[in-house]
A and B are shown apart, each in its own frame.
Chain A
Amino acid sequence: MASVSELYDVGWEEMRDKLRKWREDNSRNSEQIVDVGEELISDHASKLGDDVWIIYEQVMIAALDCSRDDLALTCLQELRKQFPDSHRVKRLTGMRLEALERYDEANKHYDAILEDDPTNTAARKRKISILKAQGKNGEAIRELNEYLEQFVGDQEAWHELSELYINEHDYGKAAFCLEELMMTNPHNHLYCEQYAEVKYTQGGLENLELSRKYFSQALRLNNRNMRALFGLYMSASHIAASPKVSAKVKKDNIKYAAWAANQINRAYKVSICKQHSDILKTTSFT
């Protein structure tokens, strides 16, 4: 099988930089990370210097995702040799046990970390993910709530909690979590859009109006959010079709829905025209 460097004709520095970019973007493309990372650490480990440890960690987590237990074990052993008492490495050991579904042992590992350092957030979050993996959604929600009472600033945790609530169809509480996220990241159009969707699902006139507003906000933050555009159209039409609204509200919402439909048509027309012209350009050479 051809190696990554042969396939794409890149040197080890580019591979290392690509891995760093994926680390910073927090992207979860585990198969690619395993491909690139495995080659990097087997062939170029000495050239990486101190970077090699964080790459080991990155590749190990990706290997767990792809069920590559051999690779994960190698990385873990290297890390354990270098950092024998580290909490971070203990957490990775626990993650490997989780991947092998040995949840009790993993829990013991995390409890040991927490005894030593009660403020360690990583271990607590792994324990909650164990509960989620075992399907104990109710308990996971309860533990996560307790965690968030202590660490109110953890945005990852708020997002996870909102997802758990959505799975349990508790949309009111999911909306609360998303509000926390919207406050800490006011310019993130995705949180606005997700909040609007939750409100739309909750239903009821007030919630529909809120959802329309937040779909518009998402669009204002990012003009190209098609999902928000469709959401705006649907919430506006829904309100307009509702029998309980006043005439003025009905008229306003029909106007909003019409505008949204117009924009949708425009967006796809632009792309279709472009596609047509591109096809024409390429076929004119036959």
Chain B
Amino acid sequence: MAPELLLDSNIRLWVVLPIVFITFLVGVIRHYVSILLQSDKKLTLEQVSDSQVLIRSRILRENGKYIPKQSFLMRKFYFNNQEDGFFKKTKRKVVPPSPMTDPSMLTDMMKGNVTNVLPMILIGGWINWTFSGFVTTKVPFPLTLRFKPMLQQGIELLSLDASWVSSASWYFLNVFGLRSMYSLILGQDNGADQSRIMQEQMSGAAMAMPADTNKAFKAEWEALELTDHQWALESVEDDLMGRELDFDGMFSKELPSGIF
């Protein structure tokens, strides 16, 4: 269809590869900067205590069948009793951390913005300015004409196929594409993973952490109300005596001699 353009191999050497290089290095630097700027999250005693209580209640629900019925009921009563059960009685003071009032949240947000969004904009702009005026690469799938002004910044050719893109778009392609490289080299959960951070920012706005405690208590209360005690040891003797015990290797002649 469209005539195949043959690009100068210098473009590959001096444009494509440097952009990949630059993106990758910037990502790695961002990762280490985010580690340096990380503020220590200090947990209060209450938060630690609450999280452990929730874990205990969950374990009671899941493994309650291993303890005698009386013990299970005793614990269930302690948690769920109408008047003074733990989940009914404890109301934690909930202060939704709005960014304006909570100073640590504010600095965290600023740091997040500085380390992630700002470099991307700056470097994107710089690349656009330096490597402008020529076609960098071709995306392997056909695009409609609507993409032309977006992807072909600086190339004023009306008849050029939209698949041919400029260096700025190659840069953005790299930013998202190198994500898997970052996980390979920097390990999971690294600071250079931009798309993950943007996802978090979008979902983070929807959920506020501390409000969870009261709701978590309520959810646990409901779940525990529904749990019944099915004793796992009902027929343990008969199960056990169904077959002979396996004493293989119990009394072994070889005693461990010394340290090694």
Contacts and interface: CB of A to CB of B under 8 A. Distances in A.
Interface of A: 4, 7-8, 10, 14, 18, 32, 35-36, 118-119, 150-154, 176, 179-180, 182-184, 186, 210, 212-214, 216-217, 219-220, 223-224, 226, 229, 256, 259, 263, 266-267, 270-271, 274-275, 278
23 contacts: A8-B259, A14-B260, A35-B259, A36-B259, A118-B45, A119-B43, A151-B52, A152-B49, A152-B55, A152-B56, A154-B52, A176-B71, A179-B68, A183-B63, A183-B66, A186-B63, A216-B236, A217-B233, A220-B240, A223-B246, A223-B247, A224-B250, A267-B250
Contacts of A214: 233
Contacts of B237: 212-213, 216, 256
Nearest to A220: B240
A111 to B, nearest CB: 16
A233 to B, nearest CB: 12
Contact of A220 (B45, B53, B236, B247): B236
Contacts of A118: 44-45
Q: Which of A153, A176, A184 has the most CB of B within 10 A?
A: A153
B122 interface: no
Interface majority SS on A: helix, strand, loop or mixed?
A: helix
A266 B236 contact: no
B245 A219 contact: yes
Contacts of B245: 219, 223-224, 229, 263, 266-267
B244 interface: yes
B112 to A, nearest CB: 26
Interface of B: 43-45, 48-49, 52-53, 55-56, 59-60, 63-64, 66-68, 71, 232-233, 236-237, 239-241, 244-247, 250-251, 253, 258-260
A219 B44 CA distance: 43
Given A183-B59, A183-B67, A267 B259 contact: no
Contacts, number: 100
A256 B258 CA distance: 41
Given A223-B245, A270-B247, 5 more contacts: A119-B45, A152-B55, A153-B55, A179-B68, A183-B59
A115 B105 CA distance: 25
Contacts of B59: 183-184
A263 B244 contact: yes
B253 A278 contact: yes
B66 to A, nearest CB: 5
Contact of A271 (B63, B233, B251): B251
Nearest to B258: A8
Contacts of B68: 179, 210
Contacts of A182: 63, 66-67
Contacts of B44: 118-119
B245 to A, nearest CB: 4
Contact of A186 (B60, B66, B239): B66
Contact of A183 (B60, B239, B241, B250): B60
A266 B63 contact: no
B55 to A, nearest CB: 5
A216 B240 CA distance: 7
Given A152-B53, A186-B63, A10 B260 contact: yes
A35 B259 CA distance: 10
B95 to A, nearest CB: 19
A147 to B, nearest CB: 11
Contacts of B233: 213-214, 216-217
Contacts of A259: 241
Given A119-B44, A256-B241, A153 B63 contact: no
Given A18-B259, A150-B45, A271 B250 contact: yes
A58 B259 CA distance: 16
Contacts of A8: 258-260
B2 to A, nearest CB: 58
B213 to A, nearest CB: 15
Pairs of residues from A and B, 8 with the lowest C-beta to C-beta distance, nearest first? A271-B251, A153-B52, A183-B63, A8-B260, A223-B245, A223-B246, A179-B67, A216-B236
Given A216-B236, A274-B251, A266 B49 contact: no
Given A150-B49, A153-B55, A183 B64 contact: yes
Q: Which of B52, B55, B64, B260 has the most CB of A within 10 A?
A: B260
A220 B241 CA distance: 9
